Amino acid sequence: MQIAVIGRGDCSAEEYEAAETIGYLIAGNRETVCCGGLGGVMEAACRGAKEAGGTTVGILPDTGDGNPYLDLVIRTGMGQARNVILVNSADAVIAVGGGYGTLSEIAIALKTGKPVFGLSTWEIDGVFACTTPEEAVNLAVRAARLSRRSRNPQDR
């Protein structure tokens, strides 16, 4: 499964710590962290995943190299339009904090039927508010696995 972790590139220290824990826990569940590939929440999630021996994918808005914790870099040159690719590559989405870019990713996820779990993020219908990184990851992993099974009946 691929779990997208979304949030600001210039996040607070609390958001960074939460995202790092989320990445660590996703990797601990043997799932892949997908993100926008830049700094802040994205870097923190990748850093946590790498600490746990996990795999990270960054879907970049430009043609740069992204953060230093990426295993796979996808350079889109598409700007914010890459948000659609990121969300469509995920089986579930976890939002940590966030600005308008995060809001656009949440909207795309909800529009396409992806489960969204939030930690101190936008309070909108369809986003399941979580109180801890552990809760967000547990729910996202469970939702991703259920979603994958419903799409691939041979995996049941």
Does residue 155 lie within any of the structural domains?
Answer: no
Q: Angle CA(17)–CA(1)–CA(33) in degrees, nearest 5?
A: 30
Q: What is the mean pLDDT of residues 58-73?
A: 97
Please state the φ and ψ torsions of residue 51, each to the nearest 5 degrees: -60, -30
Indicate the pTM of the whole model: 0.94
CATH number at residue 45: 3.40.50.450
Whether residue 65 is contained in a domain is answered as yes
Higher pLDDT, 55 or 151: 55
pLDDT bin (cut points 50, 70, 90) of residue 142 is very high
Q: Which domain holds residue 96?
A: 2-149
Q: Is residue 70 part of a domain?
A: yes
Q: How far apart are CA 12 and CA 136, in angstroms?
A: 18
pLDDT at 156: 47
In a domain, 154, yes or no: no
User: Does the residue 103 lie in any domain?
Assistant: yes
Arithmetic mean of pLDDT, 53-64: 97
The predicted pLDDT at position 147 comes to 76
User: Looking at the 3D structure of the chain, how many domains does it have?
Assistant: 1
Report how far apart, in Å, the C-alpha atoms of 67 and of each of 35, 40, 45 are.
10, 9, 11
